[in-house]
Structure 1
């Protein structure tokens, strides 16, 4: 799930200064992905033996969210302002400000 600051800024530009739809509210340095503490998943359907990503919101996303939370992960599906169902993170109790200042998990 690691994403460089440059990659994050490219994603942030989508739907703002670049064509596309908005996919993140986080600029570079303001996502746990930028510190290797987050990852995104995809729920898939199987069609003729091939996995096909399914971005439609259905009960499987909530089940995956429950599983992640049972493992101690924070799930983006619980966020209030921007529901990010594919997103999970483990912050070690560190804020983004602490990480930007150079503090790292044990």
Structure 2
């Protein structure tokens, strides 16, 4: 009977210790993330840092005679599901492996871009060199974006998404689904 009480006491101590550890871990991470609550609604606009860096990218590219067009930013779950069905149950080629809620677009942390040619048409031609400097404008923009802190989908190993730029701020899709969002310092915005 005494041994049984010692075992229970030990397990209670271990459980309390783990709860305290979990609590302290979440407190230290609260400096970086805002908890919007489980099942939080989609961001209605781009994250402020993503929006600022996107504007800087467009300005920087314009300074290099490259006209960047943002073709997509925040995307609803329904729109994401429709894109996911492309090349599966709908005509066309597969353009994403992310279903609704599984894309950084769904949380205002990603944008897609294209280029505007001098004649005003939009192009996704990665070889296009509108500024005639002997380099692909597309890749120049990707390099500028990476310099601003974006992750470029063209660098992905499994599925290349050449028009995709995102900032995850260290958050996984699972964390975003649970309602965590980036918390920015004033100097970042």
TM-score norm. by structure 2 comes to 0.53
Q: Secondary structure at the match of 2:118?
A: strand
Q: Cα RMSD (Å) of the superposition?
A: 1.0
State which structure, 1 or 2, has the greater radius of gyration over its C-alpha atoms.
Answer: 2
Cα deviation, 1:38-92, whole Å, max 9, x if unaligned, reads 0001022112xxx211122221111101000000111111111111111101111
Q: Does 1:95 align with 2:172?
A: yes
Q: Secondary structure at the match of 1:23?
A: coil
Give the equivalent residue in structure 2 for 1:52. 121
Over 3 Å off, 4+ runs: none
Identify the structure with bigger relative contact order (alpha carbons < 8 Å, sequence gap 6+). 2
Q: Does 1:32 align with 2:104?
A: yes
Q: Secondary structure at the match of 1:69?
A: helix
TM-score norm. by structure 1 comes to 0.91
Cα deviation, 1:13-45, whole Å, max 9, x if unaligned, reads 011011222111111111000101000010221
Q: Secondary structure at the match of 2:99?
A: coil
Q: Does 1:41 align with 2:41?
A: no
Q: Does 1:21 align with 2:93?
A: yes
Return the alpha-carbon distance in structure 1 between the equivalents of residues 91 and 143 of structure 2: 34
Q: Where does structure 1 lack aligned partners over 5 or more consecutive residues? A: none
Return the alpha-carbon distance in structure 1 between the equivalents of residues 75 and 137 of structure 2: 26
Q: Where does structure 2 lack aligned partners over 5 or more consecutive residues? A: 1-72, 128-135, 184-189
Return the alpha-carbon distance in structure 2 between the equivalents of residues 86 and 31 of structure 1: 14
Return the alpha-carbon distance in structure 2 between the equivalents of residues 75 and 38 of structure 1: 10
Give the equivalent residue in structure 2 for 1:80. 157
Return the alpha-carbon distance in structure 2 between the equivalents of residues 83 and 43 of structure 1: 18
